[in-house]
Amino acid sequence: MQQPVQLGPKPLTREDVHAVARGDARVEISEAAREAVTTARAHIERLATAEKPTYGVSTGFGALAVRHIPPDRRAALQQSLVRSHAAGAGPEVEREVVRALVLLRLKTLTSGHTGIRLETAETMAAMLNAGITPVVHEFGSLGCSGDLAPLSAAALALTGEGNVRDADHNLVPAAQALAKAGLQPVRLAEKEGLALINGTDGMLGMLILAVQDLHYLLDVADLTAAMSVEALLGTDRVFAADLQALRPHPGQGRSAQRMAEILRDSEIMDSHRGPDCTRVQDAYSLRCSPQVHGAARDTVAYAETVADRELASSIDNPVVLADGRVESNGNFHGAPIAYVLDFLAIPTADVASIAERRTDRMLDVNRSHGLPPFLAHDPGVDSGHMIAQYTQAAIVSELKRLAVPASVDSIPSSAMQEDHVSMGWSAARKLRQSVDGLRKVLAIELLTAARALDLRKPLNPAPATAAAVAKLREYVEGPGPDRHLAPEIAAAEELIRNGAL
């Protein structure tokens, strides 16, 4: 059983987010966090009774911030804010993303900088622990003033309105799910509606999840690239440590080292090391794999730095400071996250692109060094993996389009009060598509390289690549006459998705 994730003075880690979003770990609010929340709330209640208006406490929001709201209308103000801002549209966002979003918002709410009441934070934690997932729609965030529509959908569920998915993933009214879990809907007080929705938590959650996925997919890319090098009778000499040290990028060195280790003790590699081999050098898609994969690794490392800084942040507007001041700020702007989300889409597309080139090379009888055309059992009668490469090419083309940055766009909103936005949520949504596309492309390279290695028999592949082929063969048969390929691609993709390689 997983350890509960503690919310307190110490920043959450990326592993904490994974544990809650994907592993359903429980969340606990520490005693220190409870004290911080209570102290900050006292400051808000003092300002709520003051004659001087305070933004978010006794005024309207955005372009309507000039209106002073009388005390008897302030609870209605907060509920109206959440209802009106829960204006999303489109498909439901994935459960893991919503759980990450709620956790990260709760992280800021328990920081002592938002002025929320302790009972509100406790109910939010209890919703997570009960497996209640608000229905959040894909469109509605411009990534400035945070992820307003997505966070408002989560806040609306907290008040017992809107729809949620229960622990069994059934679509039910929020009030019904809360009652079943023994929870009372929250009746929002001053500042709480704003505190619940003014953050960058959705885009940050998707960044953290994408980084975890890309770490594993880049390991898989090293494996499938090594299998392709082996199948194409390429050389592993270019992966030597002394050559890599001449260009000391850490990601490149790691990928080269991994590929060299994967190819160790290969009979196929040994079969063409002698003087009879007349090939001077391999194509770029083989020789330069560590450079491409390594640059992607280094980009992921930079993204982790940004994610960790954001995990140490408290994003709200206005914020409650230690001395009791409540100050407006611009920390809700998503640019720091949006840029890196867009940045990650570039190497994701490029790693897929080089994998597709390696696959194509194995299918071309003029470049595959003795393999049958398209790896077909009976070329002409059979087409082998010809159209699997078409599928790769179609996905790679789409990934190139998805690599166009969202964060260079800005659409003014709120009567020009919010006149420059980040589009970070959009960057995050397309990165998720990119990661999914890369997984599919690598699945096809895995299928193709495994078939090519089988066709090199009686020569045996390296122990590491042989183990990958054996694992795949538990789900997909070896070479033979044409079969329905779509289920085999799906099986290879699921193997990767489950981390089984």
What's the token pair of residue 161? Answer: 């309105």
Summarize the chain as % helix, strand, coil (round to 5): 55, 5, 40
End-to-end CA gap in the chain: 24
Active site residue 55: yes
- Helix, strand, or coil (residue 134): strand
Identity at 484, one-letter amino acid code: H
Angle at which helix 335-363 crosses helix 424-455, to 10 degrees, equals: 20
Contact (Cβ atoms closer than 8 angstroms) between residue 208 and residue 307: yes
> 358: Cβ–Cβ under 8 A, 6 or more apart, which residues?
224, 225, 228, 232, 285, 286, 289, 445, 449
SS3 track for 374-396: HHCCCECCECCCHHHHHHHHHHH
Q: Residue written as tokens 């109206």?
A: 80
* 46: its two tokens: 């003092």
The 10 Å Cβ neighbour count of residue 451 is: 26
Q: How far apart are CA 333 and CA 143, in angstroms?
A: 7
Radius of gyration, CA atoms only, the chain? 27
Closest CA to 371 of 455, 295, 267: 455
- Catalytic annotation, pick one of 55, 284, 339, 390: 55
* DSSP codes of every residue in 175-197: HHHHHHTT-PPP---TTHHHHHH
Closest of 390, 399, 478, 387 to residue 439, by C-alpha: 399
Contact between 258 and 468 under an 8 Å Cβ cutoff? The reply is no
Cis amide leading into 458 (omega within 30):
yes
The whole-angstrom separation of Cα 280 and Cα 399 is 33
Q: Which positions are catalytic?
A: 55
